[in-house]
Structure 1
Amino acid sequence: MTTTTDNGAPLLSAEGLHVTFPGRNGAPPARAVDGVDLDVRPGEIVALVGESGCGKTTLARSLLGLVRPTGGRVTFAGTPLAYGARALKAYRRRVQLVLQDPTGSLNPRHTVYDAVAEGLRIHGYDGDERAAVAGALSRAGLRPPERFFLRYPHELSGGQRQRVVIAGALVLEPELIVADEPVASLDASVRGEILALLLRLREELGLSALVVTHDLGLAWNIADRVAVMYLGRIVETGPVEEVLTSPRHPYTQALLSVLPEAPGEPVVLTGEPPDPSRVPGGCRFHVRCQVLAGGEAARAGVEEACRTVDLPVLPGTGGTAAACHWAATRTTV
């Protein structure tokens, strides 16, 4: 884990963001993102963590302009995101997506050179294309780059394919990348190499990143800050060391408890996350909360609040915060 030295204005911000999708067969709309504030500062790596289905990929797609919010707004470098074709094209040159499945995101009929050059061609790059492609491949750790120009994805290892995907994002010299489960499909031996690459790119290029993951161990190794998401909202956020060594929200505690190095017994959450079209009243985690089920919330005098009183949207940046009635009764760290 490294620490950013830039504490200036956010580069990318979500402010009161909502994304809803129409319900099926007369069901209420699904609140995939249900009020989120989230900032990424220049040179900072933020990990967005949560179970599958919690809304983190929808949030990431809305930050990229791929899904239009139904409420709130996205700003980049202080300017609200516009959704016209020309504005989005200019925005996506500055903010690039790295997908989790390099095999699926690379066209098997395109050479490595064409895969990396595609973004340059879409954006009408008028410089030396060959030099730009070579530079991106080299920065992504594929050296000498010319050795990879005419190769096809099936001729590469999984780690090499992921480096090609990263090179395709770097070739446009973006200011921020959104990496959706960037190492989930890779062998353990390769995961560390890709994470080290992302950290090196931050140091060398000043690149910011939002890393979407279900893996708190990955967040520990790469992020400056972590935002833990549950059922459409951020439920805990703060500097990664503070959140992961002294988690305040019971959901974060449960996620951490299943890591191999975690002390004590794993916390087994009951049931699945609720349907986002039927978000429970009160704390949205209360129907699965081990603290409530174990009687600790009652002893703290907040059991009724857990079931009935909604919690405010957490601030997007700053110190540690948890959306939890029980945590609010305890001494913060």
Structure 2
Amino acid sequence: MSTVTGTGTGTDASAPAPLLSARGLRVAFPGRRGGAAARAVDGVDLDIGAGEIVALVGESGCGKTTLARSLLGLVRPSGGEVSFAGTPLAYAGKALKAYRKRAQLVLQDPSGSLNPRHTVYDAVAEGLRIHGYPGDERAAVCEALSRAGLRPPERFLLRYPHELSGGQRQRVVIAGALVLEPELIVADEPVASLDASVRGEILALLLRLRDELGLSALVVTHDLGLAWNIADRVAVMYLGRIVETGPVESVLTDPRHPYTQALLSVLPESGGEPVVLGGEPPDPARVPPGCRFHVRCQVLAGGRAGEVADRCRTEDLPVLGGAGERAAACHWAGREAVGG
């Protein structure tokens, strides 16, 4: 009997093909002094549909950023496959360059990603110059700045990053991605370095870009509150693998995996006692047997796992499907779902 809980019945043949798709994705980094390789991404299936915003959530060090970079072709996977618009991602120079025009990265720290010696115009135009844009460069830069909420754009063209607020710098970074008219953006902690008053504005901007341009987005974050405010679907990641996934409302109002429950418990609006997880996440070079969360699991530690406790410690769980059906990779959640 499967130990993955879910309400989905498999892939709908009538559903449109995803814009981005990863299957069995693995990324391993060599170990120190010939030791075991670190399994940063350890078997991930993930789809992102056209016009869909997916939040990838988890603690620092769980593999979120490595997964995001591998989806963009910035990190070559050691196993599995990434496809974009139905075509497997190729790693040859020209093919990869063409792909990066269609899928753009927005980094978390605008101060670090903007060259302090470049004006706003040069920062936004850089992508156009790399890809040999044949049209009116100034018009394209102004259009991108305007879409990113910097209006009138002419006011900002000759400014330098230090002359801008944090929110304005993040809008410049977003404009630099938009100028190439991508179909997908991957935003890595896009508001983590911003004041609370500005975070809502940037999230509203990303939603507006989705509505106006049909833009798809993968938003990488440790903040489940952010996922609630922006995402259509959420994928919760722990130690290199997605452990719970589904529509954002169903996952965040009724979390099944103990890890998701722990992450949600620390939000002010949760109303319950925060769950304090013991210890640190295990070393990805030494992934524990069985459920990879079992060494920190509050359900197992509290004696509530019952007859599945031994399975939690010894029996691995399958990779969750990437299409976003409601599912959790958890022996205990599977038992609860069938009334065990």
TM-score interval for Structure 1 and Structure 2 normalised by the shorter chain: over 0.9
Q: Which residue of 74, 92, 95 corresponds with 2:82? A: 74
Whole-angstrom distance in 2 between the partners of 1:109 and 1:231? 39
Counterpart position of 2:329? 323
* 1:243-299 C-alpha deviation (Å, 9 max, x unpaired): 00000000000000000111210000000000000000000000000000011102x
Runs of 4+ in 1 over 2 A off after TM superposition: none
Whole-angstrom distance in 2 between the partners of 1:118 and 1:64? 18
Counterpart position of 1:304? 310
Whole-angstrom distance in 1 between the partners of 2:59 and 2:333? 21
Whole-angstrom distance in 1 between the partners of 2:126 and 2:77? 28
SS at match of 1:115: helix
Counterpart position of 1:8? 16
Counterpart position of 1:142? 150
The answer as to whether partners of 1:7 and 1:41 remain within 8 angstroms in 2 is: no
SS at match of 1:296: coil
Provide TM-score, normalisation by structure 1.
0.97
SS at match of 1:51: coil
Counterpart position of 1:269? 277
Shift of residue 26, structure 1, vs aligned partner: 3.0
Whole-angstrom distance in 2 between the partners of 1:90 and 1:318? 28
Q: Which residue of 164, 185, 188 corresponds with 2:172? A: 164
* 1:125-183 C-alpha deviation (Å, 9 max, x unpaired): 01011110000000000000000000000000000000000000000000000000000
Shift of residue 319, structure 1, vs aligned partner: 1.8
Counterpart position of 1:205? 213
Bigger Cα displacement from structure 2, 85-94 vs 21-30: 21-30
The answer as to whether partners of 1:50 and 1:214 remain within 8 angstroms in 2 is: yes
Q: CA RMSD in A?
A: 1.2
Counterpart position of 1:225? 233
Q: Which amino acid aligns with 2:42?
A: D
Whole-angstrom distance in 1 between the partners of 2:132 and 2:30? 37
Larger relative contact order (Cα-Cα within 8 Å, sequence gap ≥ 6): 2
Shift of residue 90, structure 1, vs aligned partner: 0.1
Aligned residue runs from structure 1 range 181-260, under 5 A: 181-260=189-268
SS at match of 2:236: strand
SS at match of 1:330: helix
The answer as to whether partners of 2:47 and 2:324 remain within 8 angstroms in 1 is: no
Counterpart position of 2:126? 118
* 1:68-106 C-alpha deviation (Å, 9 max, x unpaired): 000000000000000011001000000000000000000
Whole-angstrom distance in 2 between the partners of 1:36 and 1:25? 27
Bigger Cα displacement from structure 2, 20-29 vs 194-203: 20-29
Q: Tell me, yes or no, if structure 1 residue 288 matches structure 2 residue 296.
A: yes
SS at match of 1:25: helix
SS at match of 2:337: coil
Whole-angstrom distance in 2 between the partners of 1:275 and 1:331? 31
Q: Which amino acid aligns with 2:194?
A: L
Q: Which amino acid aligns with 2:273?
A: E
What fraction of aligned residue pairs are identical, expressed as a percent?
85
Whole-angstrom distance in 2 between the partners of 1:7 and 1:136? 32
Whole-angstrom distance in 2 between the partners of 1:262 and 1:70? 39
* 1:168-200 C-alpha deviation (Å, 9 max, x unpaired): 000000000000000000000000000000000
Q: Tell me, yes or no, if structure 1 residue 100 matches structure 2 residue 122.
A: no
Whole-angstrom distance in 2 between the partners of 1:123 and 1:15? 29
